[in-house]
Every structure is written in structure tokens, then in C-alpha cells.
Amino acid sequence: MKEFTETELREMVKFYRSKTGQKALSKLPAIMQKQWELESQMEMPPKYEQMLVEKITNLQKQGKLPEEIK
């Protein structure tokens, strides 16, 4: 609520009460799923991939993750 003005909130309520707004709400799970699928296919920059590998390795050494991740 702090992110929007009262006018903006009223506009959002009006939109989500409309047919288009209701359709957008009903389609939101599918839209979010598709976005997740597309983002998961994107290549991670090498420095972030290395950071992730190091973090997983450290968690495995600490026994917080299994030695083999499927």
C-alpha cells in the first residue's frame, strides 16, 4: 500500500473489477509460470554461476545439502 498513492490504488481497483482486469487475474498463474520457464532457460553470467557453485559446495561440506544434487 505504501508503494502507491490513493489515486493509483483506486485506478487499480477499477481495473481489476473490469473484464480485462478479471481476465488478467485469471491468467496470472500461467503468465508467471511461463516467465519462470523463460528465466530458467537464460544463461547465468559466469561469475554468478561460480558463486553459486561455491555456495553449494560449502553447504555440502557443512552437511546442509546432500553430496549429490539431482
Domain ranges of the chain: 6-61
Write down the pLDDT at residue 66. 86
| Distance from C-alpha of 52 to C-alpha of 47, rounded to nearest angstrom | 9
In this prediction the pTM is 0.47
pLDDT at 39: 85
Confidence of residue 70 (pLDDT cuts 50, 70, 90): low
- pLDDT confidence of 24, banded at 50, 70, 90? very high
